[in-house]
Amino acid sequence: MIKGPLEKYIRESYFGGNVGAYANESKGVLGKAYHYDMNSQYPAAMLNKMPIGNPVFSTNTNLDYYSGFVYAEITPPKEEKLKNLYIQYRGDKGRVICPRSSFIR
């Protein structure tokens, strides 16, 4: 069992999802839309290997190297590239936010 500060960091990464519906700006209405229940991915995820054992710390920048948790600096794309962000984290005051600026989590 992982305890101490590492457990705190891992637990901070789990919180409720981010849901948004965005209207077509030119028409002002929501046209054809799809709803995805992210909770339903849990059974599929359980088919993959899960991180077990003692944590291994690394500075490898290749994300394909990892299976488990990554503490990283994240730089969200500019609005021109991705209008609506879903890269989220819990801010200092406990509010879930999707920032445009870089952050570490």
- Over residues 35-76, the pLDDT tens digits come to 665 566 667 777 877 777 778 788 888 888 887 778 888 898
- What is the structure's pLDDT at 36? 61
- Over residues 25-37, the pLDDT tens digits come to 555 555 666 666 5
- What is the structure's pLDDT at 4? 83
**Residue 98 pLDDT > 80:** yes
Distance (Å, rounded) from C-alpha 81 to C-alpha 64?
24
- What is the structure's pLDDT at 18? 63
Residue 28 belongs to domain spanning: 1-105
Within 13 Å of residue 24, how many CA atoms lie on the same side as its CB?
7
